[in-house]
Chains A and B, each alone.
Chain A
């Protein structure tokens, strides 16, 4: 597994470079919006990646609630954290696209508002995990994640079932997309998915190490006689 990491890192780097070339050079310029439409190649794949990560977080949280598996808890934490990063990208690139196209940075449109709510839910999940030192924290976080995940399909389907200002879906929504644009979109999605997997992997290893250190320190503190305890105290916090 250790040998696979640098190989995946190099492949992801090459793929990200190729995807950037596809987005900026190979994909044709959209007639109405012009070059600003190319933001779509970063905005949409980031949103899809965030949704996948939040779904993994949901299933890992369910697994934790059923089996109390430590690994499931770590996967839930890692995917929530990386998912928030991708959701932040969505919330930043969206308004940058909206300003020249709609003439405004933000509107309280259903999809935009639900995406902001989704981001806030997972930020509160991370705040809970970061600042609560209770032994019940993973359990409470898993429950929050299960309810938080309900917002993901609401965000995704909001433009299917409601009239919103946000553009209609380009895939499966009756809209047509130039094949070269579709290629650029899918390559960028693949590249960002590989990048997300790589970051999740690193974060997972860091969290495993963090917990091992905390457990060792806690054990050391228990075994030592009072008054001569180790200076570093186990924090019990994430990463």
Chain B
């Protein structure tokens, strides 16, 4: 369980699908986020600026799979 902050998110998702750990991309993403705490801490404790972190694929995934935005949400 868990992964390093420098691992590629798309590859991790693909790995879950190919290994049968997840049936769908949504399942794989959910699993990944649930296993991401160590990577999150590594990233927020690291040198990236808030802007760079906001664009990081893992942090983008948190937004995508989080609370539903309003339809007119700019982000």
Whether A and B are associated in the same complex: the answer reads no
